[in-house]
Amino acid sequence: MSLPYSRVLAVTAIFALLSVSGAGAQGDAGIKVGSAAPVLSVNDLDGRPVNLAQWIGKKPVVLEFWATWCENCEALLPRFREARKLTGDRVEYIGVNVTVNQTPARVRRYMEQHDVPFRVLYDDEGASTRAYQAPATSYVVIVDAAGKVVYTGVGAEQEFEPALRRAAGVTQ
C-alpha cells in the first residue's frame, strides 16, 4: 500500500518539529555553541561588580563554573594551569564560583591552599549561572575573541584544550 505523498510529508513535518524542539542528547551542556556569549556583571569575592564586557569580544575568554566542593573542578585545575602557561595573557581565565553551599571565606581558604589559575568571581545572584545555562559545576565555556561561544563541556574527562588552542591561535 502506498501512502499519499501529502500524508508522508505531514508525518515527516511532525517528526521534524519534534526533533527540533527536543534537540540535544541528555548530558549536553548549557549554552549553545555558536551563540553570542552573554555579557554581564558578576560580583567578586568582595562584592564588587566586575563587568565581563572588559574581556568578552576583546580577547578569548575561558569561564569555568566551579565550587570548592566540586571534585571534577579540582581535577581540572592542573590542566588549566598548563593551558594558562601555554596561552599566557592572550586568554582571560575566569572561575565563576557558583556560591551554592559556599561562603567567600571558604573560597578564599581554598584559594590559599590551591594554585587557582583563574580570576575568581563570586556569583551570589546566580546571574551568570542562568545566562550561561550552567548545568553543573566543572562547566567550561570558551568564548573566542569575537565574543562567540566556541566550546562547552562538563566533567573531569572533557577535552577543552583543542578549542582553547584554536581560540587562542596557538598552533602547538
Partner 1 sequence: MTRKPRMGYVAGGPVVGIGLFIVTIAVLPSRLLGQDSTIGKPTAVLVDGPREGERAPDFSLPWASKDTTGGASWFSLSGQRGRLVLLAFYPRDFTPGCTAELKTFTEQYADLFGDDVVVVGISADSLETHQRFAQSLNLPFRLLSDPDQKVSRKFGSADRNGYNRRTVYLIDRNGRVSYTDLRFGALDPKAYTRLKAAVQAARRGA
Q: Which residue lies nearer to partner 1 by CB, 63 or 145?
A: 63
C-alpha cell at 110: 581554598
Min dist CB 147 to partner 1, Å, is 19
Q: Which residue lies nearer to partner 1 by CB, 82 or 157?
A: 157
Residue 87, class by beta-carbon neighbours within 10 Å (0-12 exposed, 13-18 middle, 19+ buried)?
A: buried
Min dist CB 117 to partner 1, Å, is 19
| Residues engaged in binding partner 1 (CB under 8 A) | 6-7, 9-11, 13-14, 17-18, 21-31, 65, 67, 69-73, 98-101, 124-126, 129-130, 133-139, 154-155, 157-158
Written as one letter, the residue type at 162 is P
Q: Which residue lies nearer to partner 1 by CB, 35 or 54?
A: 35
User: Which residues, 6+ apart, have CB-to-CB distance to 161 below 8 Å?
Assistant: 79, 83
CA distance 45 to 59: 23
CA distance 58 to 37: 12
Q: Mind spelling out the 3-state secondary structure of 119-131?
A: EEEECCCCHHHHH
Min dist CB 163 to partner 1, Å, is 17
Q: Which residue lies nearer to partner 1 by CB, 14 or 53?
A: 14
Min dist CB 169 to partner 1, Å, is 29
Give the SS3 label for residue 82.
Answer: helix
